[in-house]
Amino acid sequence: MKIKNYYCGHPGLSIENFFSNKTSNVYNWFNKNKIIYFHKARVAIKYLCDKIGVEPDDEILVPSYNCGSEIDPLYQTGAKLIVYNIKKDCSLDIKDLKNSISDKTKIIYVIHYYGFVHNLTDIVEVCKTKNIYLIEDCALSLFTKHDYKNVGCLGDAAIFSFPKTLPVPDGGALVANNHDLFSNNILLKKPGLKLFYKKLLPIIKSSILRWIVTKKINFLTILFKTKKYEKKREKTPDIPASYYYDQSLNNMKTSNLTKKLLKSFDYNDIVFKRRRNFLLFLEEFKNDIKIVPLFSSLKENVCPLNFPIFVNNREEINKKMLESNIATVSWWAGYYKNLNIEKFTETCCLKNNILALPIHHQLDVEDIKYISKKIKSLVSI
C-alpha cells in the first residue's frame, strides 16, 4: 500500500526550540508590558476576578459564543452572569451588549475569535463612563495587532493562551493595561509534574510523527494512533470535565520549559505562514458552494488561529479527518452547563456547525492542498 507522506496534525517541537533565542520571540512581541505569566489562561482570569474584587451582587457580561473554560472562573466568583449575543459572523451584537448593562455591571468580558479583532470603540467609552472593567480574551488571537498595536490594548486587562498557537505544554499571560490589576509580589507556585507531562507528551508525539514524514520512513502508519473519537449525541452536550476550573490551579505559574520555549519561536515567521495558509484555503474554497468559510477575507495584521468553516454533518466529517491525521476540531461543540444559550440561535449555529481546519506554521502549501482535497471529498458525499 502506498503511504502518503503527509502529517497534518498539531505542531511539534524541534531540537532548535530548546536552544535558540529568536529576536522576534514571544517576550519581545509583548514589548515590555506589565505581564504575569500563569499556568493557564483561566488561572489569569481567576486572579483578575480576585484582584478586581468581584462580589456576589455584581454582574458580569459574557458572550453567548464561548468555550466554557473561560466562563467557569467568572461563574465561580458568585456574580450573576449576563449573556449578550454574538452574531453568526462572530461579530459583537453591540445593541444587545449595551442593553445588557446595568448599575450592577462590574465586568464586560469580550472574546476576540479566531485571531480577528472586534471594534471596541463604543464599548471602551461605555466602560469608562460607567466605571466598568473591560477584559479582552485574546486566547485565540496571539500575534494579532489592532491599529498596529497588540490585540488586547484597549481593555483594563487582556488574557492570552500560548498552547492555542504554539507547541508548548502550558502557559497563559495576563497583560495589565490598568496597572492597578498588576502585582509584582504575587506568590506563584510551580505546576506539578503530572499536569506538565500530560500536556507535553502529545507535543512530543507530534514532533516524532512530523520528523518521520520528513524522512519518508515507510513504517509511518505503525506509529500513527488516531485520537479516540466520541461522537456527541446530545443536542447540547456539556463541555469536557477538564474545562471546569480547578481551585488547585490558583496562582500557578507557567512551567520553566514553556518559558524557555517562548524564546525560540519567531512570531514574524509564524504570522506569515498562518496568513499564507489561511489565504490558500480561501482560494481553494472560493468556488465551492458546499464549504462556507466563516471569514471571507483576511484583514491586515490579523494572525488567524485556524480556518473555520460551516459544514453539515460536522461530527462525522471531523472523525474522518482525524483518521487521516488532519488536526481538525469541532470547535467549541460543548455547551457550558451553567449558561442557557439556546435562545441565541446564531451562536447555536456556530456551536453546531463550525469545523476548524489547521493552518499552523508547520504546514506548507502542499499540506493545505492535501487538507483541501480531503475536506472537499467528504463534504461532497
229 has a pLDDT exceeding 50: no
What's the pLDDT tens digit per position in 138-169? 999 999 998 889 999 999 999 999 999 999 99
Whether residue 355 contacts residue 379, with contact meaning beta carbons closer than 8 Å, is answered with no
What's the pLDDT tens digit per position in 18-60? 999 999 999 999 987 799 999 999 999 999 999 999 999 999 9
Confidence grade of residue 109 (pLDDT, cut at 50, 70, 90): very high
Mention the CATH class of domain 20-181: alpha beta
Q: What is the mean pLDDT of residues 128-147?
A: 96
pLDDT of residue 236: 79
Range(s) for CATH 3.90.1150.10 in the chain?
Answer: 202-245+266-379
216 has a pLDDT exceeding 70: no
Residue 323 backbone class (left: φ over 0; alpha: ψ -120 to 50; beta: rest):
alpha
By mean pLDDT, which of 4-8, 26-30, 173-177, 206-210 is the weakest? 4-8
Angle at CA of residue 187, ends 181 and 190, nearest 5°: 120
Dist CA 18 CA 185 (whole Å): 29
Whether residue 144 contacts residue 302, with contact meaning beta carbons closer than 8 Å, is answered with yes
pTM, two decimals, is 0.94
pLDDT of residue 223: 54
One-letter identity of residue 355: L
pLDDT of residue 217: 56
pLDDT of residue 215: 61
Q: What is the mean pLDDT of residues 205-229?
A: 64
Answer with the residue of higher pLDDT: 381 or 301.
Answer: 301
SS3 labels along the chain? CCCCCCCECCCCCCHHHHCCCCCCCHHHHHCCCCEEEECCHHHHHHHHHHHHCCCCCCEEEEECCCCCCCCHHHHCCCCEEEEECECCCCCECHHHHHHHCCCCEEEEEEECCCCCCCCCHHHHHHHHHHCCEEEEECCCCCCCEECCEECCCCCCEEEEECCCCCCCCCCEEEEECCHHHCCCCCCCECCCHHHHHHHHHHHHHHHHHHHHHHHCCCCHHHHCCCCCCCCCCCCCCECCHHHCCCHHHCCEECCHHHHHHCCCCCHHHHHHHHHHHHHHHHHHHCCCCCCEECCCCCCCCCCCCCEEEECCCHHHHHHHHHHCCECCEECCCCECCCCCCCCCHHHHHHHHHEEEECCCCCCCHHHHHHHHHHHHHHHCC
By mean pLDDT, which of 122-131, 143-152, 208-217, 248-257 is the weakest? 208-217
What's the pLDDT tens digit per position in 249-293? 999 999 999 999 999 999 999 999 999 999 999 999 998 889 999
Range(s) for CATH 3.40.640.10 in the chain?
Answer: 20-181
pLDDT of residue 5: 65
Angle at CA of residue 113, ends 89 and 78, nearest 5°: 110
CATH, range 202-245+266-379: 3.90.1150.10
Answer with the residue of higher pLDDT: 2 or 80.
Answer: 80
Closest to 117 (Cα-Cα) out of 85, 82, 147: 147
Q: What is the mean pLDDT of residues 175-204?
A: 90
pLDDT of residue 3: 46
pLDDT of residue 1: 33
pLDDT of residue 121: 94
pLDDT of residue 104: 98
pLDDT of residue 193: 83
Closest to 256 (Cα-Cα) out of 175, 195, 170: 170
- pLDDT averaged over every residue in the chain: 92
Angle at CA of residue 110, ends 104 and 111, nearest 5°: 150
